Structure 1
Amino acid sequence: MGIHGSLRKPVEEVHMSFDHRPSSITVTSEPENRLLNITRFLHGRRCDESLQLAMKKVQSTFSPSIIGRIVAFLTPSFLEARHARDQDHPPQLGPTAYLNGIRGVACLVVFNCHYANYNYDIAIAWGSGGENYNFPRLPIVRLLYAGIPAVCVFFVISGYCLSYKALKLVRSRNGQDFSATMSSLIFRRGIRLYLPTTFSTFIIAWLLRMGMYEWFREHGQNKTYFTKYDPPVRLETTSMQLMHWANTVFSGFQLSNWRDPVNYDRHLWTIPLEYRSSLCLFLVLYGTARLRTFYRITTLSIIMYIMYRESQWPHLLFLSGMAIVEWDHHRGAHTTNRKATRPIQHALEATLWNIVSFLGLYLLSLPFTFDRATPGYGYLTSLTPKWWSAPAPFHWHSIGSVIFVLASGHSRLWQRFFTSRIVQYFGNISYSLYIVHGAVTTIGCLWFNMLVRTVTGVEGYWGFFGFFLSYCFATPLNIWCADIFHRAIDIPSVKFAKGFEGKLMGKI
């Protein structure tokens, strides 16, 4: 990935050069003298040395090599020749690649949620208030644009991925490699999460100063077209803006401030939660590493119950990911020497886990706005524990996300879908899409949304058709920008964290 060099082959060119006499025409094979000779013809005198250097600089700046690199950089990675070769010889996927696919789909769902939320109240349940019986609000169907359930799935997968290698080393009693792995995870986690978001919010701060948010700010407040529009605030001076941006960035590291708002991109509210939950997970991994398996799992269960009683759902989901890893290692889910099962038994198990996965999806479908008459969910929410202090949907979304990730690990059906090429691509750019879609949508897409819906109207089927047309414009644009951000910022951030750790690392 990255900026590709020019693929031009050098060719000999023949150019005409002119002196101060129009009738004098000579031939040269030196392209760099072209502009100089034209200048001599126009002015009738030799250019001085400074002008020569300036001309050469202009020519090198706009050379085909530079233009080719810019075009290659702006080309989506899936259109590059290297990617086409990968299609003929796709890389071998690891046993947990389906988790990357789940993450990619979840990120696309988050984008759908935020984009639809500009035009519709997406939190309303199917059948609530004796109306709202339209198809997109049905359980499971609504997961196509349900952002909070997708975030819960994110957290379970993060806990799984962060603890997978560490627990594998614990079970093999490889203490030295375990310590090295945990040290690397702890050191690089903050860089991995915050370096890309630092770049993105810095870009947003400068876009604010350039007035990129101002031209549409008044239109965005038009309630006829938008149900919600809250762009970042433009302060009076650049210095005030940058100081405010710096305070916002550093506030993400505050371990005691659990509800700190993110001022430059409200969609990044999950990043501080991810960081704090990661540190909690690392502490549990370290604290239980030397325990025998039974006592380690028992200790983990007690800690998870404490988090459950305290309604700390982000911590609970990360630790649930660790618990699923323990189960997968125990059953040998990712080994080649698994015990063979009879076809009938295998079919029954597959069917059972597919049913369980849909139970998880049903729980994830619980909306935030419902009433007791809402079919199914009215009764379900009545079962929410009285001591649960977070909103009731977080309780059931947490349970549903754990069930779905657990069931996906047993389901060949889901794994085939999540390891498909397009889904894996979304998994690769998922973090970048999550980071950039807020700014790209606000600056680059909402004007088209308003333009189209001015023609189609905002109500009924034609209003939805206008929304769908604008969505078809916004989605490729966001994917394209995410692809660029992934290659320009995200991948280099990962490499920087690894290289920076290597520079500082010493022997123990």
Structure 2
Amino acid sequence: MLGERRSGPWLGWRLPRPALRQILWRLLPSPLARALGYVDADAAIPKPHATSWLNGLRGISALIVVNMHITEATYGLSEDGKLHLVQLPLVRLLLAGHFMVSIFFVVSGYALSLGPLELAHSGRSGEELASRLGSSSFRRIPRLFLPVIPVLAATMVPRRLGAWYPFAASRAPSPAAPSWAGLVASAGAEFISMVHGLDPSALVSMSQSWTLAAECASSFVVFSACLALRRASCRNRAACVALLAAWLGYVKEWQTCMFLCGMVIADTGIARRRRRRAEEGVAAAAASAVDNGAAPLLLPGHDEEKALPPSTSADGGGSGGGGGGPRRLAAAPAATTTRLETAGWSAVLLLALLLGGWPLAPNAFDAAPYSWPVRLLGLPGPLVVRYILAAGSVLLVAALDRLPAAARRPLDSRPALYLGEISYGLYLCHMLAARTSLSIGLRVELERRWGGAHGTWGRLAAWAVVMFGVALPGALWLGDLHWRFVDKKCVRFSRWLAERVGV
């Protein structure tokens, strides 16, 4: 028949040609399909907006986590450890997966609290805010854990075939699972462990998913803080949340501490933008009054915060310097302050990047300056590093939030926003691309043939072939498929379920 093609005898059925073409188009990575002229509504990338840089930062962080997990078995790229290029400051960030996880938590706290806090700042802190927080709380669990199920099911295939490598440094795959029933039971136990987060050793195929339980629990803490402190002023609310974050950091609940730090950054950022918009409005009115011969208006004080206009989450621009002597004189101090603030927050950003590259190897704690915090605090080196990375992540997000929009432009670029869209799928699926015979098995074989197990260049070549030829493209492709076919569907389902329940 016209519009159909006969399948081979090994299928024995007919598949309509348009349907086959549609399937093949949708299986392509969405950037490639878009470049070839195919438009998929589920692959649309939102345009940049005031807070889209958070999504770009999350996407780049996810890519660095993938790079670390693929590369961690081949850190030694030089015969002399003192010559490792990856040990250089800032360069080290390319493998700083632990730092990126801290950034995940700060960004999540910022993003989850931004909407409720804007309602609180605008005075709508009653039923509307409570309804929004109730819906967000209800949708949080299915939003986080439903996308895991297809990935967990997919990992059963290489485990059943004996093609799964349990660790990055494994030189041989795990024995093939004896039965599908045993695999299903193991996957179920692993999923339960992901939800409660009490036994990370049970995460045999998705070790990176230990963060999900922490993300879920910390989300509810943020929602509770937004609800409990909704009537407080910004200054009092930020102080209370900062004290709670400090206590949680002291008792080693650093994940929730990072979430609450993100909430403080969002809260103070909203207040700053609202105040800036009000000052610009008053300055414009004062300039108009001066031109008309009237007395200039005074800027509002800090106690007039409730009268400020609602926040739009957008950074206000600097004071305009039009014609007229009084306006030029008034604009000069503001411009100087802006330049000083930009220089100061740029220095904070550089400090955050240096802290984010803090070494994790135990022998690094004996070298200055990395040994100084360990000796000063008297705590174990790994715990000190965890707090240093946490401080760096908070400083980084705070600096980016306060720097001019031009400093965040790389995070608003189309590649960064695409990575942000697929970041959750990329984070969940990359082990499936990095821990099978197609990746680790191929690397081990190439090292054996090229003498890379004990040499420098053979090992580097084997890593490069697997990294850029198999593991990284595979992780990006799987993350793209997960984003379009799983993640977006789970978001819609959670919203539908909330509406059906009436939350």
TM-score (norm 2): 0.79
Deviation at 1:271, TM superposition (A): 1.1
Flag the 1:321–1:70 CA change in 2: closer, same or farther, 3 A. same
Q: Would you say the 8 A contact 2:58–2:107 is kept in 1?
A: yes
Q: Would you say the 8 A contact 1:113–1:145 is kept in 2?
A: yes
Deviation at 1:337, TM superposition (A): 5.1
Flag the 1:227–1:336 CA change in 2: closer, same or farther, 3 A. closer
Flag the 1:229–1:485 CA change in 2: closer, same or farther, 3 A. farther
1:378 matched to 2:371: yes
Flag the 1:249–1:373 CA change in 2: closer, same or farther, 3 A. closer
Q: Would you say the 8 A contact 1:104–1:429 is kept in 2?
A: yes
Q: Would you say the 8 A contact 2:356–2:392 is kept in 1?
A: yes
Q: Partner of 2:47 in structure 1?
A: 92
> What percent identity do the matched residue pairs reach?
23
Q: Partner of 1:177 in structure 2?
A: 128
For the pair shown, the structure with the greater C-alpha radius of gyration is 1
1:460 matched to 2:456: yes
Unaligned runs of 5+ in 2: 275-312, 320-330
Choose between structure 1 and 2 for higher RCO, CA contacts under 8 A separated by at least 6 residues: 2
| Candidates 350, 353, 358, aligned match of 2:345 | 353
- Which amino acid in structure 2 is aligned with residue 288 of structure 1? L
| Candidates 396, 407, 417, aligned match of 1:424 | 417
1:304 matched to 2:298: no
Unaligned runs of 5+ in 1: 1-29, 36-54
Q: Deviations over 1:274-314 (max 9, x none)?
A: 11111222222222223233332232122112102101110
Deviation at 1:505, TM superposition (A): 1.0
Q: CA RMSD in A?
A: 3.2
Q: Partner of 1:22 in structure 2?
A: none
Q: Would you say the 8 A contact 1:202–1:245 is kept in 2?
A: yes
Deviation at 1:441, TM superposition (A): 1.4
Deviation at 1:203, TM superposition (A): 2.0
1:397 matched to 2:389: yes
TM-score (norm 1): 0.78
Q: Deviations over 1:415-461 (max 9, x none)?
A: 01111111111111111000000011112322332343344432223
- Which amino acid in structure 1 is aligned with residue 415 of structure 2? I
- Which amino acid in structure 1 is aligned with residue 23 of structure 2? I
- Which amino acid in structure 2 is aligned with residue 419 of structure 1? D
In 2, Cα distance between the equivalents of 1:34 and 1:177?
55
In 2, Cα distance between the equivalents of 1:495 and 1:251?
25
Aligned residue for 1:308, secondary structure, equals helix
Aligned residue for 1:486, secondary structure, equals helix
Moved over 4 A (4+): 30-35, 82-86, 228-235, 336-339, 341-344
1:75 matched to 2:28: yes
Q: Would you say the 8 A contact 2:373–2:384 is kept in 1?
A: no
1:500 matched to 2:497: yes
| Candidates 466, 471, 474, aligned match of 1:470 | 466
- Which amino acid in structure 2 is aligned with residue 499 of structure 1? W
Q: Partner of 1:280 in structure 2?
A: 221
Deviation at 1:108, TM superposition (A): 0.4
Q: Deviations over 1:109-135 (max 9, x none)?
A: 00010001122369xxx9xxx953321
Deviation at 1:350, TM superposition (A): 2.1
Q: How does 1:144-293 map to 2 (within 5 A)?
A: 144-174=94-124, 175-209=126-160, 211=161, 214-215=162-163, 227-228=169-170, 235-254=177-196, 257=198, 259=200, 261-293=202-234
In 1, Cα distance between the equivalents of 2:496 and 2:2?
41
Deviation at 1:469, TM superposition (A): 2.6
Tell me whether 425-434 or 261-270 shows the greater mean CA deviation: 261-270
In 2, Cα distance between the equivalents of 1:484 and 1:397?
32
- Which amino acid in structure 2 is aligned with residue 97 of structure 1? S
Q: Would you say the 8 A contact 1:119–1:228 is kept in 2?
A: no
Which of the pair is proportionally richer in helix?
2
Deviation at 1:162, TM superposition (A): 0.4
In 1, Cα distance between the equivalents of 2:27 and 2:243?
50
In 2, Cα distance between the equivalents of 1:65 and 1:346?
58
In 2, Cα distance between the equivalents of 1:77 and 1:34?
26
In 1, Cα distance between the equivalents of 2:58 and 2:478?
18
Deviation at 1:242, TM superposition (A): 1.4
Flag the 1:169–1:455 CA change in 2: closer, same or farther, 3 A. same
Flag the 1:493–1:392 CA change in 2: closer, same or farther, 3 A. same
Q: Would you say the 8 A contact 2:56–2:412 is kept in 1?
A: yes
Tell me whether 317-326 or 302-311 shows the greater mean CA deviation: 302-311
In 1, Cα distance between the equivalents of 2:62 and 2:5?
52
| Candidates 477, 482, 492, aligned match of 1:480 | 477
In 2, Cα distance between the equivalents of 1:32 and 1:64?
6
In 2, Cα distance between the equivalents of 1:364 and 1:262?
26
- Which amino acid in structure 1 is aligned with residue 75 of structure 2? Y
Q: Would you say the 8 A contact 1:167–1:326 is kept in 2?
A: yes
Deviation at 1:107, TM superposition (A): 0.3
Q: Partner of 1:3 in structure 2?
A: none
Flag the 1:121–1:146 CA change in 2: closer, same or farther, 3 A. farther
Q: Would you say the 8 A contact 1:232–1:264 is kept in 2?
A: no
In 1, Cα distance between the equivalents of 2:115 and 2:24?
39
Flag the 1:336–1:116 CA change in 2: closer, same or farther, 3 A. closer
| Candidates 352, 360, 364, aligned match of 2:356 | 364
In 2, Cα distance between the equivalents of 1:106 and 1:379?
28
Q: Would you say the 8 A contact 1:311–1:390 is kept in 2?
A: no
Deviation at 1:172, TM superposition (A): 1.4
| Candidates 63, 69, 73, aligned match of 1:108 | 63
Tell me whether 184-193 or 298-307 shows the greater mean CA deviation: 298-307
